[in-house]
């Protein structure tokens, strides 16, 4: 579904991605692990069109999308939930969701109802400014806003970052639900334990390069990765 | 007492034209966080188009208004594509200086096409002023006041009750998040420029048809008054722009009466200077409307 080939993205002279290749299969959850500064967020921003790659190709359903601007990539069915959430702080929760549906033609009331059924907290706070929500609620809103565009592929950049354990549980429950309903997901996570419960394929990125690719079984087998990302206990 | 009331009435009428100018300025500033110095000169362009059409064909006021609005909107689109679209990321100073260059371009173009310093413009209303007890109000002023209220209401409706308005406020709130939500910042910016300049064109038309004359100074005057009113109301807030415009009008009307016309502009700039130095709370908000 998504193919990234030999991607190089640089900030000035510093290459944050030094030739990354990966693939997301239709209907799968694919997870990218890696330490801070490895280039995970750069990868997500490049796929979403916020950053321009210096080299390499990004194909979504066979169509190159590397030269498109973010709104055009959303139109093709790829939506990013960014790392710092980026909700519209001065707009209400409902207006945030309307903004997420900007590209939709025709009515989308059904989707709003579905979203509110999935995120009851957002329904309670529909007329509240998004800036007044808690961190967990803002994360839910960022996911919900991305879903309003009906993405075929959802990119999620560290959705559990800085959230309380119970909220993290809820986020991963929602990720599993979305997957069951047919959305493909590319997930960046530091929380490898949680990711192991939902993802079917893993990539490890270190210093701008892919250093591991495999299924959850082979990830847990790998001695070095186990020590670095899962602690000493076997997953 | 009657003088005070009369001055207040005159100030309100004057202030409503400033409020309209500040609204357009603020829309552009809110979306781009950039000052568009060519805002007034775009209005000048629209009003010159109308004057030229009047001299050539002698068509009626309604058509002249339409030409002023359309001409200003077109000039606004030209300014956005030439100065602001290439500098959307960073380079705020480059965009502002480029808009200054277009200011010169519009003024030169206007004076090349119609070289006299003063052109007569058909009057909005031929009759005398209305009297309200011992107070008097020009019909032109009343029209300006009503226009300001209608434009504010319409703008509120567009921003808070339409799909386009949601997109505009999303871009003001966070351009990055807007793009990621599927909103084209470039398209929104262009349409906001057209809308703001059209409001400016309407204001320009009401001013020149009220004054019954047009000079090349209209461009600079509109930019200065609009910017001053916007800054008085705190940058980037629409209610602030309206309040700033009305306050500026009242201030000018009263200081002209009590201190004389020479000190009128001085007082306005003095107030701005003091406000910028003291920075009361409302001038620090980066509110998105």
| CATH number of domain containing A201 | 3.40.50.300
CA-nearest of A184, A226, A185 to A204 is A226
**Distance between CA B218 and CA B216 in Å, rounded?**
5
Dihedral pair phi/psi, residue A126, rounded to 5°: -55, -35
Q: How many domains does chain A have?
A: 1
In a domain, A11, yes or no: yes
Is B177 close to A74, i.e. CB distance below 8 A? Answer: no
Instruction: Identify all chain A residues contacting B169, using CB atoms and an 8 Å cutoff.
Output: 88, 90-91, 95
Q: Which pLDDT band, with edges at 50, 70 and 90, does A234 fall under?
A: very low
Return the pLDDT at A67.
86
CB-nearest partner of A149 from B170, B173, B182: B182
Helix (H) or strand (E) holding A29: strand A29-33
Residue of B nearest to A89 (CA): B173
**Distance between CA B187 and CA B85 in Å, rounded?**
10
Average pLDDT over residues A179-193: 92
Range of the domain at A47: 2-86+151-230
Give yes or no for residue A231 having a pLDDT over 70.
Answer: no
In a domain, A235, yes or no: no
Is A102 close to B176, i.e. CB distance below 8 A? Answer: no
**Distance between CA B7 and CA A106 in Å, rounded?**
53
CB-nearest partner of A103 from B166, B170, B182: B182
Give yes or no for residue B170 having a pLDDT over 90.
Answer: yes
- Answer whether B272's CB lies under 8 Å from B228's CB: yes
Is B176 close to A71, i.e. CB distance below 8 A? Answer: no
Q: How many CB atoms neighbour CB B78 within 10 A? A: 18
CA-nearest of A157, A147, A57, A139 to A110 is A147
In a domain, A183, yes or no: yes
- Answer whether B229's CB lies under 8 Å from B220's CB: no
Question: Strand pairing partners for A59?
Answer: A3, A64
Dihedral pair phi/psi, residue B125, rounded to 5°: -150, 130
Return the pLDDT at B285.
54
Residue of B nearest to A130 (CA): B173
In a domain, A119, yes or no: no
User: Which letter, b or e, does each residue of A192-217 get, where b requires 16 or more Cβ atoms within 10 Å of its Cβ?
Assistant: bebbbebbebbbbbeebebebeeebe
Is B167 close to A75, i.e. CB distance below 8 A? Answer: no
Query: What is the 3-state composition of chain B as percent helix, strand, coil, each rounded to the nearest 5?
Result: 80, 5, 20
Q: Which position has the higher pLDDT, A224 or B109?
A: B109
Instruction: Identify all chain A residues contacting B176, using CB atoms and an 8 Å cutoff.
Output: 50, 82, 86
Identify the top-confidence range among A6-10, A162-166, B25-29: A6-10
Chain B interface includes A91 (CB < 8 A): yes
Instruction: Identify all chain B residues contacting A71, using CB atoms and an 8 Å cutoff.
Output: 179, 181-185
Give yes or no for residue A63 having a pLDDT over 50.
Answer: yes
Mean pLDDT of chain A: 92
Give yes or no for residue B216 having a pLDDT over 90.
Answer: yes
Q: Sign of torsion, CA B110 B113 B118 B123?
A: negative
Measured in angstroms, the CA of A42 and the nearest CA of chain B are apart by 15
Structure tokens at B165: 């308005």
Instruction: Identify all chain A residues contacting B174, using CB atoms and an 8 Å cutoff.
Output: 86, 88-89
- Portion 150-169 of B in contact with A at CB < 8 A: 163, 166-167, 169
Measured in angstroms, the CA of B236 and the nearest CA of chain A are apart by 13
Q: Which pairing describes strands A184-188 and B119-120: parallel, antiparallel, or unpaired?
A: unpaired
Give yes or no for residue A233 having a pLDDT over 60.
Answer: no
What digits encode the pLDDT tens for the residues A105-147? 889 999 999 999 999 999 999 999 999 999 999 999 999 999 9
Give yes or no for residue A226 having a pLDDT over 90.
Answer: no
Average pLDDT over residues B173-199: 95
Q: Which of A71, A82, A112 to mutate against chain B (most B CBs within 10 Å)?
A: A71
Alpha helices in B114-184 (DSSP H): 139-161, 163-173, 175-180
In a domain, A29, yes or no: yes
Q: Which pairing describes strands A78-81 and A153-157: parallel, antiparallel, or unpaired?
A: parallel
Q: Sign of torsion, CA A111 A112 A116 A119?
A: positive
What digits encode the pLDDT tens for the residues B80-102? 999 998 877 777 888 889 999 99
Chain A interface includes B174 (CB < 8 A): yes
SS3 call for A85: coil
**Distance between CA A112 and CA A149 in Å, rounded?**
11
**Distance between CA A40 and CA A46 in Å, rounded?**
10
* CATH number attached to the domain at B2-128+135-278: 1.10.3470.10
In a domain, A36, yes or no: yes
Q: Which pLDDT band, with edges at 50, 70 and 90, does A27 fall under?
A: very high
Measured in angstroms, the CA of B212 and the nearest CA of chain A are apart by 43
């Amino acid at each position: 579904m998504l193919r990234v080939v030999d991607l190089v993205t640089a900030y000035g002279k510093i290459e944050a991605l030094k030739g990354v290749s990966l693939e997301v299969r239709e209907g799968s959850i694919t997870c990218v692990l890696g330490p801070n500064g490895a280039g995970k967020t750069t990868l997500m921003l490049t796929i979403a069109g916020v950053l321009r790659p210096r080299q390499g190709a990004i194909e979504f359903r066979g169509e190159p999308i590397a030269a498109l601007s973010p709104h055009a990539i959303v139109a093709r069915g790829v939506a990013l939930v960014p790392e710092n959430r980026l909700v519209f702080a001065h707009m209400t929760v409902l207006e945030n969701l309307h903004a997420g549906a900007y590209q939709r033609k025709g009515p989308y009331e059904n989707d709003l109802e579905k979203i509110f059924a999935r995120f009851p907290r957002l329904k309670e706070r529909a007329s509240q400014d998004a800036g007044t929500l808690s961190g967990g609620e803002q994360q839910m809103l960022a996911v919900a806003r991305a879903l309003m565009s009906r993405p075929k592929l959802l990119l999620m950049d560290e959705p559990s970052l800085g959230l309380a354990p119970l909220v993290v549980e809820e986020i991963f429950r929602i990720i599993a639900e979305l997957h069951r309903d047919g959305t493909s997901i590319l997930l960046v996570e530091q929380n490898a334990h949680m990711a192991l419960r939902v993802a079917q394929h893993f990539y490890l990125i270190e210093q701008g390069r892919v250093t591991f690719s495999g299924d959850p079984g082979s990830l847990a087998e790998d001695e070095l990765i186990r020590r670095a990302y899962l602690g000493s206990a076997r997953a | 007492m009657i003088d005070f009331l009369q001055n207040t009435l005159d100030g309100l009428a004057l202030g409503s034209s400033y409020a309209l100018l500040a609204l357009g300025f603020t829309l552009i500033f809110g979306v781009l966080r950039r000052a568009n110095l060519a805002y007034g000169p775009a209005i000048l362009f629209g009003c010159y188009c109308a004057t030229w059409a009047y001299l050539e064909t002698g068509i009626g006021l309604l058509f002249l208004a339409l030409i002023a609005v359309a001409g200003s909107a077109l000039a606004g689109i030209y300014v956005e594509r030439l100065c602001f679209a290439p500098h959307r990321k960073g380079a705020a100073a480059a965009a502002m200086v480029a808009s200054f260059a277009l200011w010169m371009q519009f003024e030169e173009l206007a004076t090349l096409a119609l070289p006299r310093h003063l052109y007569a413009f058909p009057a909005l209303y031929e009759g005398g002023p209305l009297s309200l007890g011992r107070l008097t109000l020009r019909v032109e002023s009343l029209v300006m006041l009503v226009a300001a209220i209608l434009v504010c209401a319409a703008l509120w409706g567009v921003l808070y009750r339409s799909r386009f308005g949601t997109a505009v406020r999303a871009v003001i709130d966070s351009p990055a998040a807007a793009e990621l939500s599927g909103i084209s910042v470039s398209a929104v910016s262009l349409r906001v420029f057209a809308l703001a300049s059209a409001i400016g064109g309407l204001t320009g038309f009401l001013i020149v048809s009220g004054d019954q004359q047009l000079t090349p100074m209209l461009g600079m005057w509109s930019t200065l008054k609009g910017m001053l009113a916007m800054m008085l109301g705190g940058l980037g807030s629409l209610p602030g722009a309206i309040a700033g415009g009305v306050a500026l009008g009242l201030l000018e009307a009263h200081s002209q009466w009590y201190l004389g016309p020479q000190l009128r502009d001085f007082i306005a700039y003095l107030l701005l200077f003091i406000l910028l130095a003291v920075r009361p709370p409302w001038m620090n908000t980066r509110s998105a409307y």
